[in-house]
Amino acid sequence: MGTMKALVGGGTAKYHLVENVEVFSPRAGQMLIHVHAVALNPADAKMADYSTTDGAIGGHDFAGVVARLGVGVSPDRFKEGDRVLATTIGLSPTDRTTGAFAEYALAFDHLTCKIPDTMSFEDACPMGVSIGTAGMALFQTLRLPMPDKDSNTPSSNVPSIPVLVSGGATSTGTMAIQLLKCAGLTPIVTCSPANNALCMSLGAEACFDYHSPTCGADIRAWTNNSLAHVFDCVTDAATMEMCYEAIGTSLPAAATYVAIDPVSTSVQYTRRDVRADWLMVYSLLGEPLQLAGVYGRPASATDRAFGARLFALVEQLIGQGRVKGHPIEVRPGGLEAVLGGSS
């Protein structure tokens, strides 16, 4: 199909621009997307720092137009010309063709959402990783009820369950707030006071200053000692301690804490009444993740099926105007500008 520009891995913590990368044909279950916008995600820096693969295309989040369907992609689900957002894995050690930082990118059909004409590619492109991470944490690990895709209002049959989102003003945190609100649950968050208005506008019922030494105790008091579900979008020992302090102490069953990175075992075992877990969002690809140490995962058909259900649901919520992207800063300059995007 010709060649294109792409940012590929080139040594530890480095990307470099290559102008003659092959435009790859989509495999079964993939689509070729003409990329219109890409997002810089913390995962891009993490992969560059800890799992660089020379010659592999980088980048995780993108938006654009469907250029070609691979075998097995249902034309009832997607067609050429559709405007979409998608997430993938950049700098993959097993498949150097995946990655968002290119003029054309391969999207997995089950981790792709169509976007309405009223949503810009710039607003859509950062959403993929946050959809996968927040959805996996809330509805798979914490086992909370998913929103009703056929209703524009939260279900009245869902009890008012408080759910703490630590780091509510992060991109994953703002997505979690919205998904919880759509499900009829009660999102409460920790954030800087400067971000209270943002979090409240998206549906947070209460905001707590994570700088406060009484933050955990204040949350426990606000929830009447009933908090049993926590999603930590920050994940360090200090935030984990705060979350553990916020969790109720006389619950009928074990509480659940889920993080986006491996948890601190020194904190984990301070409370045997809390089940601590962490997630690897790229397990939603349904393919083996040959990453170093605890980050590796075998292929999971269960996670793949969940990802398909989640992204189809969020596509509906976006179309209904019930979910939107995180506030963004648009930077011009194309792929070349991504190299300096963190500055």
pLDDT of residue 152: 63
We report the CATH number of the domain holding residue 77 as 3.90.180.10
Q: Are the beta carbons of 207 and 122 closer than 8 angstroms? A: no
Packing angle of the helix pair 127-135, 171-182 (nearest 10 deg):
60
Contacts of 50 (CB under 8 A, 6+ apart): 292
Clarify whether residues 186 and 233 are in a common domain. yes
| Structural domain containing residue 93 | 3-126+328-338
Which H or E run contains 336? helix 334-338
In angstroms, the CA 50 to CA 58 distance is 13
pLDDT of residue 343: 41
Clarify whether residues 144 and 108 are in a common domain. no
| Cα-based angle 35, 41, 42 (whole degrees, multiple of 5) | 160
Clarify whether residues 151 and 86 are in a common domain. no
In angstroms, the CA 139 to CA 310 distance is 9
Instruction: Per residue of the chain (343 residues), give pLDDT as tens.
Output: 799 999 998 766 578 899 999 999 999 999 999 999 999 887 777 766 666 678 899 999 999 999 999 999 999 999 999 999 999 999 988 888 999 999 999 999 999 999 999 999 999 999 999 999 999 999 999 999 999 877 666 555 656 899 999 999 999 999 999 999 999 999 999 999 999 999 999 999 999 999 999 999 999 999 999 999 999 999 999 999 999 999 999 999 999 999 999 999 999 999 999 999 999 999 999 998 888 778 888 999 999 999 999 999 999 999 999 999 999 999 888 888 888 764 4
Q: Are the beta carbons of 42 and 127 closer than 8 angstroms? A: no
Clarify whether residues 19 and 77 are in a common domain. yes
Residue 139 DSSP symbol: I
pLDDT of residue 80: 98
Contacts of 321 (CB under 8 A, 6+ apart): none
Clarify whether residues 252 and 137 are in a common domain. yes
In Å, how far are 162, 193, 232 from 259, measured between CA atoms?
A: 17, 22, 5
pTM score: 0.94
Q: Per-residue DSSP letters for 69-100?
A: EPTT--TTT--TT-EEEEE--SS-SS-TT--S
- Tokens 């990118």 — which residue? 105
- Considering the domain boundaries, does residue 319 fall inside one? no
- Considering the domain boundaries, does residue 59 fall inside one? yes
Q: What is the dihedral of CA 140, 144, 148, 149, to 10 degrees?
A: -30
pLDDT of residue 277: 96
Partners of residue 35 on adjacent β-strands = 64
- Considering the domain boundaries, does residue 145 fall inside one? yes
User: Letter for the amino acid at 174?
Assistant: T
Clarify whether residues 62 and 163 are in a common domain. no
- Considering the domain boundaries, does residue 287 fall inside one? no
We report the CATH number of the domain holding residue 157 as 3.40.50.720
Largest distance between two CA atoms of the chain? 63
Q: Is 213 helix (H, G, I), strand (E, B) or coil?
A: coil
Clarify whether residues 188 and 243 are in a common domain. yes
pLDDT of residue 184: 94
Count the domains in the chain. Answer: 2
Q: Per-residue DSSP letters for 47-65?
A: HHHH---BT-B--SEEEEE
Q: Which two tokens stand for residue 219?
A: 């949350």
- Tokens 């190299």 — which residue? 339
In angstroms, the CA 158 to CA 167 distance is 24
Clarify whether residues 250 and 118 are in a common domain. no
Final residue before a domain boundary, out of 261, 282, 303:
282
In angstroms, the CA 78 to CA 26 distance is 14
Clarify whether residues 118 and 227 are in a common domain. no
In angstroms, the CA 67 to CA 286 distance is 23
- For 77, other C-beta atoms within 10 Å of its C-beta total 16
Clarify whether residues 89 and 23 are in a common domain. yes
Clarify whether residues 161 and 238 are in a common domain. yes
